[in-house]
Structure 1
Amino acid sequence: MAKERLNTLDRLRTVDKSLASRMGRVRKRTWAITQQAVAAGASYWVAQEVFGHKFPFFAPIAAIIILGMTGGDRLRRAVEMSLGCIVGVGLGDLLVPLLGSGPWQIAVAVACALVFGSFISKSPLVNNQIAIGSILIATIMPPGGITPAGTGGPDRMIDAVIGSTVGILVIAILPDNPLNAGRQEISKVMAIASSVLDDVAEALRSRDARSLANALQAVRDTQGDINSMLDSAKVGREASTLSPLLWGSRRRVRSLERILGPVDNAVRNVRVLARRSRVLTEDGDTVSDEQIEIISELSGILLSFSELYERGAEVSEAVEIPNIVNQLRRLGARANMSLVKGRVLSAHVVLAQTRSIIVDLLEICGMSRPSSLAVLAPTSRTPAYPPEVWDD
């Protein structure tokens, strides 16, 4: 009965976590949905009321496409999309009256549009919009066909520009917090890395190669999360550049961007450490208890980072970062060659990756790379950076 109750509780916890995750996704999407809804309505209104277009459906479509783009650079992409739409519609209006409308005519029109687009820009967005514009003209709105008044070629081109412009203005007037998404993605990546290091430490203690295989798979799956982290940072930089309301947050955005490289490097080093630990365990070799303890402490530090970035409070950072730096300094002094004396190559690799992770985490804390390297106990008689700790 006790075991059944435990299983029931585990299932309930799983359901609670799933619901919490879904609610979190809904909350994250709420502002993006608001931006797209406002941009669609505003662009349609501007095209219809200000420019007198009766059916300006290109305007809200363009606005939603711009706001739906990820990875930043939406201003550049808005220009590219407008250019592609203008050229595509213009080519469609030129070619369709000559060729007519039908399957082979569409094929020819799209081929001509893409060839022409390749001379204008190498951007896939420009080329796609040129092809789409030609298809729309050849099918839905052929010149000379029965189409609603006010949907002629020039009007369609103008609508594309209106939608792109309104989309950019909405980003400037109704900006999202440029730090939230980036911090959440960083928190997620660090939590995964922490979990993997914890699994590695436990597997090294128990010499369980199967657990290491699972940990390695988990860290291999983080590349998508890393890409999301980098995209979120680009979107944050773009928002803080476009919106006057966010100009005061530029310094914090730059600080967040600064740590992206070290975070990426830390995850990559965790990946290599997990892979080498698996090889070591499968070979039946071991590492010292001190090495395992250092890995376990690094797992705890990564978890602290994850919680810190999830909260997003600068006051907490000012208090906790110095404590983390001091802890990493102590680990750097302990991670010396005596830990692998008389051990196999894999143990040396595990030590090397551990030291690399310490350096990455110190860089996340704000230290320069030379200063971070100087924290480590020396492994060379002529180190490039004089160490803080030197044993004669």
Structure 2
Amino acid sequence: MERARIGTIERLKGLDRSLKSRVWRVRHRLLPILQITLATGFAYFIATQIFDHRQAFFAPISAIIILGLTGGDRIPRAVELTIGCTLGIGVGDFLFYNLGTGYLQLSAAVLISLLLASFLSKSPLISNQVAIGSILIATIMPPQPGLAGASRMIDALIGCSVGLLAAAIIPTHPLSSGRREFSKVLGLASSVLDDVSDALRNRDHQALSEALEAVRGSQDAINAMLAAAKTGREASTLSPFMWGQKRRVRTLERILTPVDNTIRNVRVLARRALVLCEDGDTVSEGQIQAIEELADITHALSEIYERSQEIDEAQEIPELVRRLRVLGAKVGLDLVEGKVLSASVVLAQTRSIVVDLLQVCGMSRESAVAVLVPTSETPAYPPEIWADDSSPTRSLKDLK
């Protein structure tokens, strides 16, 4: 009876999480839905009421296509789409109006459209839209008296223009999606670091293999993060309502590289940790504790970006920087304790992740590297070694 009750509770919790996920997805889609709804109606209104076009099919369709573009390249791709649509419709109208419709005419229209698109641009989007426009004219809306000519090309231009206008007037927030994707990538890095530290302590090959497999599948998350950053930059450029966010968008873009480097270094660390365990070797407890600390700090950064609250960020980032400084002063060669090469590689990756996370927190690479205890007699950057949790006290000479 008790087991059945626990099972019911767990199922209810699962349903609750699923419901919350669906509600969040609907809320996330409300603004794009509003953009498309208003843009299609407005584009159709302009084409029919102002330009007096009887079947303004391409006006709302072009608006939907423009607003459906993602990845931060909406403006140049919208221009390409506009060229492709208008060119395809124009070629199709001209050929089918003079030659009639049929499979031979369709093949000829597609051939001419693609050759013309290839001559004008190497963009595959233009080529696809040119061919699609010709096919639509041939199969669904063949030329009719009073309907052929430039009217449908104008409709396509209207739809593309209204789509960009809707994106500018009703913009998505340029930071929200970017911060959310940053949070996902950092959360994945934290989870893998935590699994690696536990697996190294327990010498668990299977857990290390699973952690490595998880971080190897992180490329989609990285691509989504890069696309979200581009989208944020585009929104802050396109919409006058978001011009005040440009500085914050540039700040977010500056940490793209260190976040990307973090997940890549975590991947190398997990792979080397697996090799170490397969060889039957071990690392020191100090190295495991350093990885655990990195996992905790990375998790804290992930939560900061997930909340998207500047006040929390301003209060918490300095404390995370302090912890990273303290950790940087500890990850020296003495931590390896004469272990094998794999242990040294794990240490090197740990040091690299410390530098990456300091850059995520806003430090320059030079300042971040200077936090590390030196492993060379002639370090490129003067070291800033922290003897305790509060202040730098030792110089390189003190270490020799």
Listed one character per residue, the Cα deviations across residues 73-117 of structure 1 (whole Å, up to 9, x for unaligned) are: 212112111111121112212333565433343233212211211
Counterpart among 270, 276, 294 of residue 272 in structure 2: 276
Aligned residue number for residue 96 of structure 2: 96
Q: CA deviation at 1:218?
A: 1.4
Listed one character per residue, the Cα deviations across residues 225-278 of structure 1 (whole Å, up to 9, x for unaligned) are: 111111111111111111111111111111111111111110111111111111
Map 1:160-309 to 2 at 5 A: 160-309=156-305
Aligned residue number for residue 116 of structure 1: 116
Counterpart among 333, 337, 342 of residue 341 in structure 1: 337
Q: Is the 8 A contact 1:89 1:153 kept in 2?
A: no
The separation in 1 between residues aligned to 2:87 and 2:31, in whole angstroms, is 33
Q: CA deviation at 1:196?
A: 0.9
Listed one character per residue, the Cα deviations across residues 322-344 of structure 1 (whole Å, up to 9, x for unaligned) are: 11111001111111111113211
Helix, strand or coil at the partner of 1:334: coil
Instruction: Give the partner amino acid of 1:355.
Output: R
Helix, strand or coil at the partner of 1:377: coil
The separation in 1 between residues aligned to 2:177 and 2:237, in whole angstroms, is 16
Q: CA deviation at 1:33?
A: 1.0
Q: CA deviation at 1:3?
A: 5.3
Listed one character per residue, the Cα deviations across residues 126-165 of structure 1 (whole Å, up to 9, x for unaligned) are: 111111111112222223xxx5x76323111001111111
Helix, strand or coil at the partner of 2:329: helix
**Are 2:86 and 1:86 aligned?**
yes
Listed one character per residue, the Cα deviations across residues 283-303 of structure 1 (whole Å, up to 9, x for unaligned) are: 211111111111111111111
Q: Is the 8 A contact 2:195 2:207 kept in 1?
A: yes
Q: CA deviation at 1:6?
A: 4.6
The separation in 2 between residues aligned to 1:134 and 1:69, in whole angstroms, is 21
Q: Is the 8 A contact 2:72 2:230 kept in 1?
A: yes
**Matched pairs, number:** 388
Listed one character per residue, the Cα deviations across residues 205-225 of structure 1 (whole Å, up to 9, x for unaligned) are: 111111111111211222111
Aligned residue number for residue 393 of structure 2: none
Aligned residue number for residue 311 of structure 2: 315
Q: CA deviation at 1:346?
A: 1.1
The separation in 2 between residues aligned to 1:150 and 1:183, in whole angstroms, is 51
Counterpart among 375, 378, 382 of residue 378 in structure 2: 382
In structure 1, the gaps of 5 or more residues are none
In structure 2, the gaps of 5 or more residues are 386-395
Counterpart among 142, 148, 151 of residue 152 in structure 1: 148
The separation in 2 between residues aligned to 1:336 and 1:14, in whole angstroms, is 45
Helix, strand or coil at the partner of 2:114: helix
Q: Is the 8 A contact 2:96 2:142 kept in 1?
A: yes
The separation in 2 between residues aligned to 1:256 and 1:84, in whole angstroms, is 34
Aligned residue number for residue 388 of structure 2: none
Aligned residue number for residue 368 of structure 1: 364
Q: Is the 8 A contact 1:53 1:150 kept in 2?
A: no
The separation in 2 between residues aligned to 1:328 and 1:164, in whole angstroms, is 49
Helix, strand or coil at the partner of 2:382: coil
Helix, strand or coil at the partner of 2:283: coil
Normalising by structure 1, report the TM-score: 0.95
Q: Is the 8 A contact 1:262 1:360 kept in 2?
A: yes
The separation in 1 between residues aligned to 2:341 and 2:16, in whole angstroms, is 45
Stretch moving more, 12-21 or 214-223: 12-21
The separation in 2 between residues aligned to 1:110 and 1:263, in whole angstroms, is 45
The separation in 2 between residues aligned to 1:275 and 1:150, in whole angstroms, is 68
Listed one character per residue, the Cα deviations across residues 21-49 of structure 1 (whole Å, up to 9, x for unaligned) are: 22222211111111111111111111111
The separation in 2 between residues aligned to 1:63 and 1:181, in whole angstroms, is 23
Q: Is the 8 A contact 1:66 1:164 kept in 2?
A: yes
Aligned residue number for residue 391 of structure 2: none
Instruction: Give the partner amino acid of 1:358.
Output: V
The separation in 2 between residues aligned to 1:278 and 1:24, in whole angstroms, is 38
The separation in 2 between residues aligned to 1:103 and 1:244, in whole angstroms, is 48
Aligned residue number for residue 352 of structure 1: 348
Could you say if the C-alpha distance between residues 271 and 2 of structure 1 is closer, same or farther in structure 2, counting changes exceeding 3 Å?
farther
Q: Is the 8 A contact 1:359 1:369 kept in 2?
A: yes
The separation in 2 between residues aligned to 1:157 and 1:69, in whole angstroms, is 20
Map 1:17-32 to 2 at 5 A: 17-32=17-32
The separation in 2 between residues aligned to 1:4 and 1:153, in whole angstroms, is 71
